[in-house]
Structure 1
């Protein structure tokens, strides 16, 4: 091998040498160790991990780095390579037999594997054929199973058809021989109804078997419907027995025949309509008879009210001299309000009312009749709905239309020309109550009746209210004037407040906003206040006029308080006017007894400089006059409040307000004069504020 030339080494730079060094290191480090896989390898032989010794490589690297002559080193490397090559050839020759044996073994294994592959392919083909056969058997079994199910279903359908279409001997004998009221008959009737419903299906009617079955089935249905018709007729005719409670017959007898009605409705509709018409005819006659007897009996007990059409005040030439306190007065509501409060109570029993000789106002008659009508309508509606279902509305009209007409004509006769204003009002409000109740029950049958009653009563009530308002507006104040010395409340005021309180009671009881009623009450009150003012103008003394108005207003408020109506707007209206009139009386009373002093106070309240600018002697003169008669004046005021006010409590209130007002005025003037040094609390002979308080307290406590 030709050695390297030095000139060739000089062509490498530093980076090239570093790269060669790195490649050599990588070649050495990546050389894997040789492992002997043969079992018969001799233990004495050792395989080197490289062809070139490590010392030689290190020497070569040092030479390359220093740039010295590397020929000697290269020869050593070439010798090492030749030795390694010789060892490899020797080792290959030595191990050749083993390689040959290994090759033979590999070929034998390959042959065995090929045989195994052939066997596996053979069995795989057989398994594939078995799987196909199994799938074919499974599909055939599923098809057979489906055919079997279809056959069973067809067989079951045929059996069911035969069972539903044919009439068993037990069923036929049960229908013919059993008594209609027996449980066995009802059971057979239900079974027959089910068979008829089955045979009425379109797909069944078109079957060929119907030609043989239908004639016999019709005969059995006809026989059963005849027995059911006779049975139901006998039950319905129980309603015609005298003194029979219709609802008891319906609930305890007819409702138990529901299966019979249903059978006729589904299987013998003509017979069903016959029974239905028979029931309508009988029950309508029963109700007409019962209601006619009941209404006529109640009307015979009617309490006649205001037959002459008297108003609160006659248009001319009428003067009331005594108050009406009778509970039966047509201007007093009294206990008649109970009819409205107890509107849901059961209707009166006619026999009991006759036995106790009761007298009934029109509103109580209306309540009883309408309550009975509402309850009858409700119970009949529920019964008809249960038995006849969809036809209940038309049936209810056929059953109760004559009864409703009878009731309305009775009230039309007695209410269209009545002068009983409370009767009209209570009937109107009771009608609203019953109307709302039927609306909550969702039974519209009586809607027309309620509307007609409302149209009948409301205009009549408005007409009567207008008559009374006009009677007050047109009343002669001169004829009603009681005289200069009489300041007591009018008897007309008593009648008026009883009348108004009755109207207010009804409005409060209803707890609704009836604008028509509220407006009527307001107009009535305004007209009566106007009448009181007109009467009061006939008094020559202003104080008498105020006392007259206060006493009348006091009576109005007192009656409203007795009726527990002191929380109403009407009471507040009259109370506010009364308070103003009481203030007027207080001022008039003080002016009457302390004219100069009150004149001074009135001037001082407008201008506080009056005391300072007034003559001291004139002021002292006023106080001297006050001092000389103030005790007698207080006593006289006490006597006036006792004499002028029929209501002791009202007189006490006026006395207290009068004396309290006097004390306030005196304290204010007294302090003003002290500030001006006109009088002194230590040296003055005028009554002190405390002495006035002590004297006033005596009269105030005296009234307690």
Structure 2
């Protein structure tokens, strides 16, 4: 097969076609004697001839083209010559560039070596620079620490003490600390500067001392806001106390002692003045020992005087000046005002009077806030690190004043409600200090509780003893069946103590359980004793019911828990039942006695035996038919009248209308039960035919 190729310009070039193989194939076929008439052979013969002709034409055409191409080549000879010259010139240029690049490569190698050398020199110089800078810093620091410049001397000795002075003092402090180092003291330069620094230290200490003493003395001025002066002035210069502590501990202690003495006196004076001004607002008449549940103190008026005192008429003291001894009467509202601002005495010109616990709350809150501020100031200014010793030195006289004042007050205090309120106040302020995470008053608050709790127990025990003594010696008596004054006092006092013994005040319920239980037993004994001395069992019952009902009424008004009211509810229920029976025995004695006496005689008669009993059977033995008829007739004739009499008596006997109506309802209910029981007795006695008088029921 002829191969075709393309020139660079895209013109196809054909190689000569070799038909030798085809000729050999045809020749071989002829020699094999192939039949000339064979169509295939004929076709092959014809194809061979045609092929030869085509080959001859192609060969001729190729010769023509060859001749033409030779002419073209001859025509292009000059172009080829020019191209050759250009190639030679380009080759010369490239050879020159090769030589230049070789030289440049050699130069680059030399430069690289120089760069590496310079890099090494740079690293070495950089290390030397760092060393020299470090040395410069050390030398500068050393020189700065040992050299006392005239400017620093002037600043320490002559400049006004203000916030800028802190910077001067800080610089001096650094120099002093540096010179104090043991290795520095061996150097001659330090030895030369040490005397000058010592002079500056002495001068600075003297000036700082005078400045601090002056500022501390300013705290003595009347009407000075101590907290503002402490925070805005002294705390800004707290570095002064640090400087004194490091460089002159004796002067530091002197300044601290002067502050303690000054503030101790200032606080004591201010709180004394404040407490004195509050005392003018206190109720004029405080409860005394004569204001126990029962006044057992001997009076000049004898028995009559005691009666008047027990009735509250012994002294002409107005209630607004004396206050309530047993009832809360809104006194517990103070528990919702424990975080209000303290009372300012000079602003109260309307003659408002306060209970002692209200004044106690006011000055204790002021004490708590002042103590908190002072403790935080001491921790900041003197860097006490939370230690309480310095605070105790400052506040010790003030807290002792309050403890002494409280002790003096408690010696004559017989107000148990006020005492319990004060205990609640102290307990609240203890928790407030815990929330603030300030424990400087813990021991003081403990001391307050150790004074208040025993005194409260003394007052409660005195009330218990007054009840017991009154019962044993018959010191009080009931003049009528109305609730007694002692009962009301007890009810108000017990309700007040229960109401104040909330779960919020830890330990209060358990601490008061025993005295309240004992007081309850004693008052019940006293009420029972007074009832027993009244004329007639009926009056005794009415007296007991009225007194127990009064106690429960007060307890329920105060929303006391079931545990506090259960005992009196049981007693009231028992006495009401007795009163109901008493009334029925008084107005329907025949009915009650007949039913009670006859019921046992017919108790064994069942409903079935009644239905199966024969006609004409007589009443069972023990049934008084004549008495039965009398009871029925009397009840039929008199029940309306007797019921009206019961109604009138109940309404005038019981001071509590609601309680009276409830008792009347129980009386009528019990009367109805007796009536029903009477009917059952008649039915069982006459099972076949009821008697004629039975129709009157």
The answer to whether the aligner puts 1:578 opposite 2:575 as a matched pair is no
Who is 1:532 aligned against? Answer: 527
Q: Secondary structure at the match of 2:409?
A: helix
Who is 2:478 aligned against? Answer: 482
The answer to whether the aligner puts 1:567 opposite 2:561 as a matched pair is yes
Who is 1:503 aligned against? Answer: 497
1:384 Cα shift? 0.3
1:159 Cα shift? 4.0
The answer to whether the aligner puts 1:661 opposite 2:670 as a matched pair is yes
Structure 2 CA distance, aligned partners of 1:141 and 1:678? 146
1:506 Cα shift? 2.9
Structure 2 CA distance, aligned partners of 1:280 and 1:478? 60
Who is 2:347 aligned against? Answer: 352
Aligned partner (choices 677, 681, 685) of residue 695 of structure 2: 685
Q: Secondary structure at the match of 1:582?
A: helix
Of residues 246-255 and 263-272 in structure 1, the stretch that sits farther from structure 2 once superposed is 263-272
Alignment CA distance shift 1:251-1:576 (3 Å): farther
Of residues 215-224 and 198-207 in structure 1, the stretch that sits farther from structure 2 once superposed is 198-207
The answer to whether the aligner puts 1:469 opposite 2:450 as a matched pair is no
Structure 2 CA distance, aligned partners of 1:156 and 1:274? 42
The answer to whether the aligner puts 1:633 opposite 2:642 as a matched pair is yes
Aligned partner (choices 237, 241, 256) of residue 257 of structure 1: 237
Structure 2 CA distance, aligned partners of 1:339 and 1:279? 36
Who is 2:585 aligned against? Answer: 591
Who is 2:165 aligned against? Answer: 185
1:150 Cα shift? 7.9
Aligned partner (choices 411, 415, 425) of residue 416 of structure 1: 411
1:260 Cα shift? 3.3
1:548 Cα shift? 0.8
List gaps (5 residues or longer) in structure 2.
1-116, 611-619
Structure 2 CA distance, aligned partners of 1:543 and 1:247? 71
Structure 2 CA distance, aligned partners of 1:179 and 1:304? 59
Structure 2 CA distance, aligned partners of 1:580 and 1:145? 113
Residue pair 1:597, 1:622 contacting (<8 A) in 2 also: yes
Alignment CA distance shift 1:619-1:213 (3 Å): same
1:189 Cα shift? 3.2
Q: Secondary structure at the match of 1:319?
A: helix
Structure 1 CA distance, aligned partners of 2:219 and 2:483? 62
1:311 Cα shift? 3.4
Structure 1 CA distance, aligned partners of 2:552 and 2:438? 44
Who is 2:361 aligned against? Answer: 367
1:380 Cα shift? 0.9
Residue pair 1:164, 1:198 contacting (<8 A) in 2 also: no
Residue pair 2:650, 2:660 contacting (<8 A) in 1 also: yes
List gaps (5 residues or longer) in structure 1.
1-136, 688-704
Who is 2:617 aligned against? Answer: none
The 5 Å alignment of 1:199-348 reads: 199-205=179-185, 207=187, 209-302=189-282, 303-307=284-288, 309-315=290-296, 317=303, 318-319=306-307, 322=311, 326=319, 328-339=323-334, 341-348=336-343
Residue pair 1:312, 1:495 contacting (<8 A) in 2 also: yes
Of residues 575-584 and 153-162 in structure 1, the stretch that sits farther from structure 2 once superposed is 153-162
The answer to whether the aligner puts 1:642 opposite 2:641 as a matched pair is no
Residue pair 2:598, 2:681 contacting (<8 A) in 1 also: no
1:467 Cα shift? 2.6
Deviations 1:520-555 (A, max 9, x none): 222112111101111212235323211110001111
1:337 Cα shift? 3.5
Of residues 513-522 and 417-426 in structure 1, the stretch that sits farther from structure 2 once superposed is 417-426
Who is 1:402 aligned against? Answer: 397
Who is 2:540 aligned against? Answer: 545
Structure 2 CA distance, aligned partners of 1:425 and 1:680? 70
Residue pair 1:565, 1:571 contacting (<8 A) in 2 also: no
Structure 1 CA distance, aligned partners of 2:218 and 2:689? 105
Computed over aligned residues only, the root mean square deviation of the Cα atoms, in angstroms, reads: 4.0
The count of aligned residue pairs is 548
Residue pair 1:429, 1:510 contacting (<8 A) in 2 also: no
Who is 2:374 aligned against? Answer: 380
Structure 1 CA distance, aligned partners of 2:693 and 2:540? 43
1:643 Cα shift? 1.3
1:650 Cα shift? 0.5
Alignment CA distance shift 1:660-1:207 (3 Å): farther
Residue pair 1:624, 1:686 contacting (<8 A) in 2 also: yes
Structure 2 CA distance, aligned partners of 1:180 and 1:231? 8
Alignment CA distance shift 1:149-1:526 (3 Å): farther
Q: Secondary structure at the match of 1:351?
A: helix
Q: Secondary structure at the match of 1:312?
A: coil
Residue pair 2:264, 2:394 contacting (<8 A) in 1 also: yes
Structure 2 CA distance, aligned partners of 1:341 and 1:245? 29
Structure 1 CA distance, aligned partners of 2:459 and 2:592? 50
Aligned partner (choices 513, 522, 528) of residue 518 of structure 1: 513
1:186 Cα shift? 3.0
1:296 Cα shift? 3.0
Residue pair 1:604, 1:610 contacting (<8 A) in 2 also: no
Residue pair 2:375, 2:440 contacting (<8 A) in 1 also: no
1:381 Cα shift? 0.7
Structure 1 CA distance, aligned partners of 2:482 and 2:420? 32
Deviations 1:92-144 (A, max 9, x none): xxxxxxxxxxxxxxxxxxxxxxxxxxxxxxxxxxxxxxxxxxxxx9xx99996
The 5 Å alignment of 1:21-40 reads: none
The 5 Å alignment of 1:25-104 reads: none
Structure 2 CA distance, aligned partners of 1:599 and 1:569? 39
Alignment CA distance shift 1:580-1:297 (3 Å): same
